[in-house]
Structure 1
Amino acid sequence: MKKRLGFLFVFLVFGLVMAACSSDDATSSNTEDIGGEITVWAHPFTGEGDEEKEMWNDVISNFEEEHDVTVNFEQIPWSNRDQKILTALASGDGPDVFYAIPDQMPQYADEGLLLELDPYTEDLDMDDFVDTSLVSTTWQDTLYGLPILQEAYTLFYNNDILKEIGADPENLPETWSDFEEWAKMAKENNVYALSYPGGGSMNGTFYPWLWQNGGKVVTQDGEVKINNEAGVETFQFINKMYENGWIPEDSITAQEHNSLWNGGKIMAILGSGITLSNLKAKGEIDFSIGPPLKKSEQVTYGTTGMFVASKKSDNPATAAEFIKAITNTENQKKFNTVTQYIPTRESAKGIFDDQEHLKQLSTYTQYALPGVIHPQGRAIMPLLQAEVQTMMEGKKSPEEAADAAAKAMEQKLKE
């Protein structure tokens, strides 16, 4: 397993009480309770309906045969998924197992809607999971999900621009200081150093810089950290990039900078697997992928997808066993070969051995945090975003914006 990151230790304490097992396919200690019927909900992950359907049929039929159970599978749309899932769980008529993302899990867990998985994973090899993939599956030291996919966002560089400004594509930046030097070179050559879509998610703008600086938004106990020293320094750095013209003029509210990137006006963008797919499809930009940057920590953003179970399931042991099965090595290989996401098990990452760039991205998931893990994580994001935007407009200093963001968040957390 990749070396553990010190700052993640607090999230992974629960791992110390899990007995390691020699096989990730081991069965539950509650095997006598496995049986009956369960319903599984998942979303469409690709545009290749037939291939995805065949994958699910294979996974489910193998599970049904092995355990003599019935699995009813339903693919639900991404739109309005929160409302559909919450309504179903509250009524008790929802799925036994369903797919969740990092900002959903703590909401559901905090409301007592999810099955605790710790009793069902005592015999499971947790050490094969990438450490960062387990951050979003745990709330208040309790395991509620097992991860099946990850992403890792990092900087994609336009090689033609690098050559134009005198930078070496074979020696890409590793630290903030390295990147700042290249940003200055880009500015001198009338190109932007970075795309900063400030009107989009903070996961792709502010948060990576904050984490790289050793900062944190809020703890699981609700302590707001955004205006501590690391937070203020991050506000200052974002402001510096904007005032120096390293990022586009419309970065305050922009949703994307595709035209500038495609037109050869931006040196680097923060991207992931979908960025890679788009670049390969167009084939117009010669690019290199650099490692996640660091100041005090080497960290980046990358979502984690997981499967969780309803606390109201009539067959909790079967539901837990299905989650263990879908996230084991072989099924992660099948799932992620079709979806082209990165497996959360180290033993499944070999599916990308013959794909240079995806193989490279898969090595960065060890640095990928899934966002703010808190029931109010989604609600406090726009509060922080508004203060970052106000600062960039020149209406508040970085210190004032950080303090205002902290005050707004603390108020929200009290509601």
Structure 2
Amino acid sequence: MKRRSWFRYTLLAFTGLLLSWLVACGGGQPSGSGTGADGTQEVEFWTMQLQPDFTDYFNELIAQYESENPGVTVRWVDVPWADMQSKILTAVTAGTAPDVVNLNPDFAAQLASRNAWLPLDDKVSEADRAVYLPNIWQANTLNGQSFGIPWYLTTNVTLYNQTLLEQAGVEPPTTYAELADVAQAVREKTGKYAYFTTFVPEDSADVLQSFVQMGVELVDDQGKAAFNTPEGKAVFQYWTDLYTNDLLPREVLTQGHRRAIELFQAGEVALLSTGAEFFPTIETNAPDIAAVTSSAPQISGDTGKKNVAVMNLVIPASSDVPEAAINFALYVTNDANQLAFAQAANVLPSTTAALQDDYFQVNDNAAPGVEQARSVSAAQMGQAEVLIPAMDGIKQLQAILYDNLQAAMLGQKTVDQAITDAAAEWDAR
């Protein structure tokens, strides 16, 4: 059942209240970290759901760091994925934040706009900054100020069921225009669907990213709606037509990205947009489907833009060991450690040298599987960027667009009315 708008905006209002409290309360000293009486510094480091799979990796990394940096100890705390936003928000508000935190740019930017993080432009040298892919470093900036250090990356590829596409007589699509043709052929020839992408406002941002990939600017320099244009209307019309022509499952309005995975593993949809790191899960859950699954580049628009998701490390402004915190964050994200972690986790590194390692190079002869998916993923990095701007209110913008898209798809509004209402709602927020 679709969640109601009042719940989402109540949540947004509650978050805004807490953030206002953050501004009012100001900084404080984090508990459990800082400089001891003997001069020893402790850095408290929070990650997101990396235990138990990477416990050994981090224990060894921390031990090595401590041996190279006498007088500094690191206390590692791993936080469940679903709890991180509420826990870090509470900790920052109460002045008990850790010294280094693993977050994504979207949520980090919400607090960066309220000066929760240590500005890095004067703290990280040009030489250290040059280690990272320039477009990825840029993703951790807000209003021209750097607030995070890039860590690992994921960029979606298109996993496709070779059997279903062969039955439909089509090749995997690389553009949204091709996707529409493939969707029609798969539906007609197999009775199944080609693709599932969610329009649930609180879930995946894939549809929001599709606006940018199809040449739509979301907001202008003043933060006002910039999507009520012929290009924006074309995107509204595109998704509305796919749905009304029965080329998308009805569940796209009520189910999240997890449902896309379930349908792909059941052989009910031909295409799945996901990261290479997910391939082993398909091999475990649906070995018969994995055996006929191959990888193609991420679907894009005429812009050719590919999206990349960035995990970063931020330093709370309240840290009383900021130099040690930055030093540790740079250590975690250096070339050698990024390469080691990327190999262990089937993700991509954000440093130029690590990404050029032979491990990530394209192998045209690679058999279908995780190696092929990883090669396709790495090959996209030249075009990849964070498509959704780091901005305050981005989840609210997604909700407004998705709600009005749903109204158009269900015939409750015309496309013109839906996009006009979305722009007005955003500008009046």
Give the TM-score taking structure 1 as reference length: 0.82
Question: Retained in 2: the 8 A contact 1:203–1:371?
Answer: no
CA drift at 1:234: 0.7
1:182 aligned to 2:188?
no
Question: Retained in 2: the 8 A contact 1:292–1:298?
Answer: no
Question: Retained in 1: the 8 A contact 2:109–2:142?
Answer: yes
CA drift at 1:70: 2.1
SS at match of 2:158: strand
1:60 aligned to 2:62?
yes
Structure 2 equivalent of residue 403 of structure 1: 420
1:283 aligned to 2:287?
yes
1:44 aligned to 2:60?
no
1:153-192 superposed matches below 5 A: 153-168=156-171, 172-189=172-189, 190-192=191-193
Larger deviation: 383-392 or 347-356?
Answer: 347-356
CA shift digits 1:298-357 (9 cap, x unpaired): 224332100010111112222111111111111112222333222112322334458232
1:320 aligned to 2:326?
yes
Structure 2 equivalent of residue 375 of structure 1: 392
1:331 aligned to 2:333?
no
**Partner Cα distance (1:322, 1:221) in 2:** 37
One-letter amino acid of the counterpart of residue 184, structure 1: Q
CA drift at 1:247: 1.2
Change (3 A) 1:113 1:259: closer
Question: Retained in 1: the 8 A contact 2:48–2:103?
Answer: no
Larger deviation: 218-227 or 207-216?
Answer: 218-227
Structure 2 equivalent of residue 361 of structure 1: 377
**Partner Cα distance (2:60, 2:244) in 1:** 54
CA shift digits 1:113-141 (9 cap, x unpaired): 10011112224344443344224311111
Question: Retained in 2: the 8 A contact 1:38–1:319?
Answer: yes
Structure 1 equivalent of residue 354 of structure 2: 348
**Partner Cα distance (2:184, 2:346) in 1:** 36
Query: What residue ranges of structure 2 are gaps of 5+ in the alignment?
Result: 1-38
1:302 aligned to 2:308?
yes
Change (3 A) 1:72 1:220: farther
Larger deviation: 71-80 or 114-123?
Answer: 71-80
**Partner Cα distance (1:125, 1:160) in 2:** 48
**Partner Cα distance (1:219, 1:308) in 2:** 27
Give 1:389's match in structure 2, choosing from 391, 400, 406. 406
CA drift at 1:216: 2.9
Question: Retained in 1: the 8 A contact 2:115–2:317?
Answer: yes
Query: What residue ranges of structure 1 are gaps of 5+ in the alignment?
Result: 1-33
CA drift at 1:220: 6.6
Where relative contact order (Cα < 8 A, 6+ residues apart) is larger, the structure is 1
Change (3 A) 1:167 1:296: closer
Structure 2 equivalent of residue 76 of structure 1: 79
Structure 2 equivalent of residue 12 of structure 1: none
**Partner Cα distance (1:74, 1:370) in 2:** 30
Change (3 A) 1:57 1:370: farther
CA drift at 1:153: 1.7
CA drift at 1:163: 0.9
Structure 1 equivalent of residue 254 of structure 2: 253
**Partner Cα distance (2:423, 2:203) in 1:** 15
Change (3 A) 1:259 1:329: closer
What is the count of residue pairs matched by the alignment?
373
**Partner Cα distance (1:147, 1:253) in 2:** 33
1:12-27 superposed matches below 5 A: none
Give the TM-score taking structure 2 as reference length: 0.80
CA drift at 1:165: 1.2
